Structure 1
Amino acid sequence: MRGLRRALCALALGAGAYLFPQGGQAETSYTMLSFAQLEGWAEDDHKAALGAFLQTCRDLNDPDWRALCALANEQDPKAARGFFQLFFRPVLIEDGAPALFTGYFEPELSGARRPSSRYRYPVYRQPPEARKISQWLTRREMLTSGVMEGRGLEIAWVDDPVELFFLQIQGSGRIRLPDGSSIRVGYGGANGHEYRSIGTELVRRGIYNIHQVSAAVIKRWVRRNPLAGEDLLMHNPSYVFFREVSRIPASAGPLGAMNRSVTTLRSLAVDPRFTPLGAPVWLEKDGAKPMRRLMIAQDTGSAIKGAQRADVFFGSGDKAGIEAGKLRDPGRMVVLLPIQRAYALLPGDD
């Protein structure tokens, strides 16, 4: 903790980069930047970013963040850029790994409250015994042993096992019912096993090259090869359970890690070891469709590990899923930290 405090003191004093080792891993560097060094900063819609910030800032416990949230609530949205420039400073946090930005979305599945010949694949709540231990049955053991059957753990049944698998990867989604209404589900726990990529497994088996693999390609292959496809899905021992989330309006995004709705193209999933949840983050994503915008760190993900690693939330439905699936780009992300928090950590405060 003291190393972190000294690092923030260096930021407050305007020192360039401050390094300290983290658990024997690669050193983490903190570099203070100016807003003029953020490419495209002046052209962004800061009003939209302020709206996303207000979604979660009230849940932050640190006094400095709470004070900023109170100011943000009184802020004229037209002056949002000035608010961020006045009360924050951009900090580039790096851990030696290259930047990587991907996308995620809220899938929509077709399902029903009761099973039928069409709706055969259950969306499960977590069983009580799985909550009590760190590692429960694997996906294969759970789905082939009958341990889940006859216990009333089903939230709904869906018509496609591949879409259900990808629902687990996303962690939340909507299930569209035959009458046009929908059930919203959110992350409700897991069986404690490490996620294994089925895309990587397809490459290992020589079916595809690494540059060919995408969510759409995997789905098509599993559907064309139902028996081999079922076995491929079992390659991933991790299993995600769900809970029904009924209090979120249909117009709002799914719940993120802060238990608040995330915002399309304004919310990021980050590694909270490096980026505080709730913090504004300036994203400079390169690639075929460059993105320069102020996002808010409001979610996490099991594959989001590293100081320069993030997932962009693209929204709900198939179109959002297609766009999210295409994203795998370099660039950089810069965290906006409160000025007063840095100055409060000057020498003498230890």
Structure 2
Amino acid sequence: MHKSQSRSFLVVVAALLAGLLSACGTPAPSSACAAPPSCPACPACAVAGSAPSPQPAARPLQAARWSDLPGWNDDDLAAAWPAFLQSCRALAKRPQWPQWQAVCDEARSLNEPVTAGIRRFFESRFQPWLLTNPDATTNGLITGYYEPLLHGARTRAKPFLQPVLGVPPDLLNIDLGAVLPDLKNLRLRGRLQGNKVVPYFSRAEITAHEKDYLDRVLLYVDDPVELFFLQVQGSGRVRLPDGQTVRLAYADQNGHPYQSIGRVLVDRGELTLEQASMAGIKQWARANPGRVNDLLNTNPSYVFFREQPATGHDGPNGALGVALTPERSIAVDPRYTPLGAPVFLATSQPDSPTPLRRLVLAQDTGGAIRGVVRADLFWGFGTQAGHQAGRMKQPGQMWVLLPPGAAPK
């Protein structure tokens, strides 16, 4: 983005937010909002006059005991230790968190720790906190994701016709916390139209004007549905005709909300809820090739990528900036779960009552990962990982492990 555009955009955003807040005011904790219903920053009043005071939401972190964690004593914690050290690599770059510095320094000094020693380390250096929804419930949705393999080429020729796009130069991405600290962890994406900020183009608009993005094409792949799921997963690998493999990593998103195409098919009566898995959607697409693009465009969200070398056996980098570890890394909502933190996850295997209880690390985020008790478990790379991830939609509980003094006030 050109610097003058960036300054103009910040001025416009600041003015819009300032006007919004001045129009609404700051409602008193025990009074109804007196703002007009068109004001999106204030709760609408159901009737004129005062309204009943809302019940306070439960705090997202509730102090817990180690004995509260089901299966804590049975997990092979050594399998999670490399992922924890990966988190420490990123946390070491944040000197504002001295509590993490101390525990990470100690962790790195441990010589080939075994599970029993790791358990003692966590129990002596961390406090478990039960993640709790605003309504005081503690169960949430646990899903899965993976790193898929696609087939593609550098140039467009059958069967490689689907472009994978890098970030377009007119996409504006603003950290709203830089404008108003109360909006920390919120971002605004859009584009300039004259001197106005407007939403960025939707998926349907982007795919309808592919010629406008020719200079942003990274690769061409052979399947629009596989490309769609690559965008859902956020990263993947592409095998080229010469056998070379490149990795595509999430770079940005167009700012539109994610719409589940499985839900669309269920609402249309074309799939049952049980059939609306990744495998079921792909099967529907093979049976309805002429309707695929219309289905994909019901999701206005669009993800842009950057290319990375696919070296070694490391997973893709998550939002924390470190490589993800199969079955030990999760994506979370960072408003409630600090990135880098250990999390004890209590759920079940995909499509199964068999318990899945293990220590994982909060190392990624996702557009659909919103809420307190919400996680997306990274299953790894390839077909088998995709099979597991595509079937995972389980209830579960989460405990965040934090050093003393590191819990949010």
Letter in 1 for 2:256: H
What do the CA deviations read for 1:167-217 (whole angstroms, capped 9, x no partner)?
A: 000110000112222010111111111111111111111112222211111
What does 1:216-295 correspond to in 2, within 5 Å?
216-246=279-309, 249-286=311-348, 287-295=352-360
Structure 1's 46 and 126: CA in aligned 2 closer, same or farther, altered over 3 A? same
Partner residue in 2 for 1:14:
none
Matched-pair identity in %: 46
Q: Please state if 1:108 is matched with 2:149.
A: yes
For 1:321, the equivalent position in structure 2 comes to 386
Residue 25 of structure 1: CA displacement? 7.5
Question: Greater CA deviation, 72-81 or 82-91?
Answer: 72-81
Matches within 5 A, 1:56-205: 56-60=87-91, 61=94, 62-76=97-111, 77-78=113-114, 79-95=117-133, 96=135, 98-131=139-172, 134=190, 135-149=199-213, 151-205=214-268
RMSD over equivalenced CA pairs, Å: 2.0
- Give distance in 1, aligned partners of 2:383 and 2:363: 22
Q: Secondary structure at the match of 1:148?
A: helix
After TM superposition, the runs of 4+ consecutive aligned structure 1 residues lying more than 4 A away are: none
Distance (Å, rounded) in 2 between the aligned partners of 1:250 and 1:42: 32
Query: Matched residues in 1 for 2:55 and 2:225: separation?
Result: 40
Q: Does 1:210 align with 2:251?
A: no
Q: Give the Cα–Cα distance (whole angstroms) in 2 for the partners of residues 35 and 195 of structure 1.
A: 37
* SS of residue in 2 equivalent to 1:129: coil
* Distance in 2 of aligned mates of 1:66 and 1:53: 13
| Equivalent residue number for residue 375 of structure 2 | 310
CA distance in 2, matches of 1:142, 1:256: 26
2 CA distance for matches of 1:223 and 1:31? 47
- State the partner residue of 1:54: 85
**2:258 is paired with a residue of what secondary structure?**
coil
C-alpha change, 1:146 and 1:340, in structure 2 (3 Å) is closer
Q: 1 CA distance for matches of 2:212 and 2:324? A: 31
Q: Give the deviation of 1:147 after TM superposition.
A: 4.4
Q: Are residues 44 and 123 of structure 1, via their aligned partners in 2, closer, same or farther at CA, if it must alter by over 3 Å?
A: same
For 1:43 and 1:221, locate their aligned partners in 2 and report how far apart those are by CA, in whole Å: 41
The yes-or-no answer on 1:333 pairing with 2:364 is no
Give the 3 Å change call, closer, same or farther, for CA 334–159 of structure 1 in structure 2. same
Alignment partner for residue 36 of structure 1, among 50, 67, 70? 67
What TM-score comes out, normalization by structure 2 length?
0.74
Q: 1:268, 1:252 → 2: CA distance?
A: 15
CA deviation after TM superposition for structure 1 residue 218, in Å: 0.7
SS at match of 1:114: coil
Secondary structure of 1:166 counterpart: helix
CA distance in 2, matches of 1:207, 1:99: 27
SS in 2 for 1:222: helix
Could you tell me which runs of 5 or more consecutive residues in structure 2 were left unpaired when the two chains were aligned. 1-53, 174-188, 191-198
The structural deviation recorded for 1:340 is 4.5
Look up the equivalent residue of 2:323 and give its one-letter code.
Answer: S
Contact persistence 1:304–1:311 (CA under 8 A): yes
Change (3 A) 1:170 1:80: same
